[in-house]
Structure 1
Amino acid sequence: MSQPRAIVPGATYLLTRRVLRRYFLLRPSSAITQLVIYTLIVTARRYGILVHALCVMSTHLHLVVTDTRGELPRFLQQFHRLVALGTKVLRAWDGSVWDHGATSVVHLTTRDAIVDKIAYTLANPVTAGLVQHAHEWPGAKVLVGEIGCGILHAKRPEVYFNPKNPQWPEDASLPITLPPSVQAGDADRFRREITHRLEQHEKQARAAAQRKGLGFLGAARACEVSPYERATSLEPLRERNPTFAVGRGRKHARDAAIAAMRAFRTAYRRSLEHWRAGVRTAVFPVGTWWMRVFHGVAVNDGELAAA
């Protein structure tokens, strides 16, 4: 059984979802970009999700978002479902699109963690040896300069989305917002911090490629790869599945995040044991989602701080 996760309104996350067996099904193309961005816009609007960063690689995608209403699980289910269904049509693909593993959801508890994970997200095409600079990537992405002032926009894809259904507008748009923890007056400094961290990632990736005698694939060639091929590079086994990030060298923040997580899990399990024993008056800790939504349990919203 997976560990219980606190879903608290206002939390910011790094989200990662991988394609089945590392097929290149999300390889950059105008149709895939339109599908992903349109789907992201309509589902983010539906569930109160703020989008701060995005990078769609051929084999996986990354998002940095804030869940304003505590509906992250519904957003993930709908967003990934619609992207998968559209991809199956576009690629004439028979079978699963997504890896059978769960979506990686990492709660970003500090500003430094948000900066680091946004830079990590945008640097992905460079660290993968595809392009030398993040802005050269031809797939769906957010640029640093767009955070807090840009807009995602897409027309309704011609596949899957019924134009007669009012929930699928012909045109959709969504602001690329600053994380709520960053004030508007601090936006320029926030973007400079991301740029600095992104440039570090790019520099390290180019140096690593040079040491190995490797070049970069390039944007044009990345768009020519068959979506039915699979990545052949070695990928480390994902032994760890982090639930939070605090940034570099922040021991106090890390200790606080661990304590909050353990407190939530302990309280949740205690309440779940009571509920399973037939005590329907059991009160669950703040952040309880599944049991609250599907079983209507009571939640003590003042018991714990955001985990």
Structure 2
Amino acid sequence: MSQPREIAPGATYMITRRVLRRHLLFRPDAAITQLMIYALAVSARRYGLQVHALCAMSTHLHLIVTDETGVLPRFLQFFHRLVALGTKVLRAWEGPVWDHEAPSVVRLLTRAAVVEKIAYVLANPVAAGLVRHAREWPGAKVDVDELGRGVLVAARPSVYLDPENPKWPEEMTLPLSLPPAIERDNAEGFRQEVAAEIERQEAQAHAEMQQRGRRFLGADRASKISPYERATSFEALRERYPTFAVGREQGDACRMAGAAVRAFRASYRAALERWRAGVRSVVFPAGTWWMRTFHGVSVTDVVSAIQLSAARPDPGWARPDPGWAGARPDTGW
């Protein structure tokens, strides 16, 4: 049985999904970039999500979003389907596009986590040895200067989407918003923090590349490589997938968030056991999504500890965040 996940309105997430067998189907050419931005803009508008950052790598996709109304599963289903079907047409690809594993969904509970993960997303092409600086990546992405104020624009792709259907406008715009953890009067300071973290991660990647005697591939070659090839760099399998990130040196926040996750799961399973036994009056914990959506169960309106921890001021926001503990390293493309 998979672990139940709390879906809370207003939560900010880092989402990652990978291409089947690490094929380079999302090679950063103009057509795939147009598809990515258009599909994301349509999906975000349809489900009311706020988009903060993205980076489409050749073998996987990173997003940082805030789910204002608690409909993240619906958004992911719609968005990933659009991307997959459009990619199949663009690449003349038979079979699945996405890896068989579920998307990685990591909830960002503190300002430190937001800064760290946005920097991680934007610097991902550098960490993968593709370009020397994040701004050089030619694929669908957000630059640090666009955080909270940029607008991505894409015309309707010429493939798959019916131009006569009114739900596919001729052009879509995607405003980039600030995460809820960031005060609007401190937006410039936030961008400076992200830029500093990107610079740190780039320097680390440069040192690792030099130590291994490797050279960066370059934006031009990354854009022209065959999309049917596969990434060949080492990638560990079956490592842990986290559900939240809080930041480095924030042990109290981490312990509280971990305890809240365990409490939610225990409460959910206890309610599910009673429901399976025929007790239809059972009340599930706040954040229950599947059972509420498909079976109409009652859900408590009590806010969980993990929601409270996300709302509290983060006294250690200036300290760097190690990322998600135990996550699979993001190697290759």
Q: Considering the TM-score relative to the shorter chain, is it more than 0.5?
A: yes
Query: Is 1:88–1:94's contact at 8 Å kept on the other side of the alignment?
Result: yes
Instruction: Tell me the residue number matched to 1:24.
Output: 24
Paired-residue identity, %: 65
* Mapping of residues 182-221 of structure 1, within 5 Å: 182-221=182-221
Q: Deviations over 1:278-299 (max 9, x none)?
A: 0011100000000000000000
- Larger displacement relative to structure 2 (175-184 or 68-77): 175-184
Alignment partner of 1:194: what SS? Answer: helix
Instruction: Tell me the residue number matched to 2:85.
Output: 85
Instruction: Tell me the residue number matched to 1:136.
Output: 136
* Mapping of residues 117-156 of structure 1, within 5 Å: 117-156=117-156
Report the Cα offset of residue 181 of structure 1.
Answer: 1.7
Report the Cα offset of residue 224 of structure 1.
Answer: 1.2
1:100 aligns with 2:132: no
Q: Deviations over 1:1-58 (max 9, x none)?
A: 1100000000000000000000000001111000000000000111111111100000
Runs (5+) with no aligned partner, structure 2: 308-333
Instruction: Tell me the residue number matched to 2:229.
Output: 229
Alpha-carbon distance change, 82 to 167 in structure 1, aligned in 2, over 3 angstroms: same
Cα distance in 2 for residues equivalent to 1:33 and 1:238: 30
Alignment partner of 1:13: what SS? Answer: strand
Cα distance in 1 for residues equivalent to 2:38 and 2:249: 38
Instruction: Tell me the residue number matched to 1:180.
Output: 180
Query: Is 1:108–1:114's contact at 8 Å kept on the other side of the alignment?
Result: yes
Q: Deviations over 1:239-270 (max 9, x none)?
A: 11000000111101101101111111111011
Aligned length in residues: 307
Report the Cα offset of residue 238 of structure 1.
Answer: 4.1
Instruction: Tell me the residue number matched to 2:323.
Output: none
1:69 aligns with 2:86: no
Alignment partner of 2:7: what SS? Answer: coil
Cα distance in 2 for residues equivalent to 1:190 and 1:252: 24
| Equivalent residue letter for 2:180 | P
Alignment partner of 1:223: what SS? Answer: helix
Report the Cα offset of residue 303 of structure 1.
Answer: 5.2
Alpha-carbon distance change, 129 to 101 in structure 1, aligned in 2, over 3 angstroms: same
Instruction: Tell me the residue number matched to 1:12.
Output: 12
Report the Cα offset of residue 304 of structure 1.
Answer: 2.5
Cα distance in 2 for residues equivalent to 1:32 and 1:298: 42
Cα distance in 2 for residues equivalent to 1:305 and 1:83: 35
Instruction: Tell me the residue number matched to 2:290.
Output: 290
Cα distance in 1 for residues equivalent to 2:253 and 2:27: 38
Query: Is 2:12–2:179's contact at 8 Å kept on the other side of the alignment?
Result: yes
* Mapping of residues 17-56 of structure 1, within 5 Å: 17-56=17-56
Query: Is 1:16–1:104's contact at 8 Å kept on the other side of the alignment?
Result: yes
1:163 aligns with 2:188: no
Instruction: Tell me the residue number matched to 1:245.
Output: 245
Give the structure-1-normalised TM-score. Answer: 0.99
Cα distance in 2 for residues equivalent to 1:200 and 1:115: 12
Cα distance in 2 for residues equivalent to 1:282 and 1:164: 47
Alignment partner of 2:115: what SS? Answer: helix
| Equivalent residue letter for 2:265 | R
Moved over 4 A (4+): none
Alignment partner of 1:178: what SS? Answer: coil
Cα distance in 1 for residues equivalent to 2:99 and 2:25: 12
Query: Is 1:284–1:298's contact at 8 Å kept on the other side of the alignment?
Result: yes
Alpha-carbon distance change, 303 to 14 in structure 1, aligned in 2, over 3 angstroms: closer
Give the structure-2-normalised TM-score. Answer: 0.91
Query: Is 1:28–1:138's contact at 8 Å kept on the other side of the alignment?
Result: yes
| Equivalent residue letter for 1:249 | E
Cα distance in 1 for residues equivalent to 2:294 and 2:133: 45
Runs (5+) with no aligned partner, structure 1: none
Cα distance in 1 for residues equivalent to 2:306 and 2:257: 9
Alignment partner of 2:65: what SS? Answer: strand
| Equivalent residue letter for 2:47 | Y
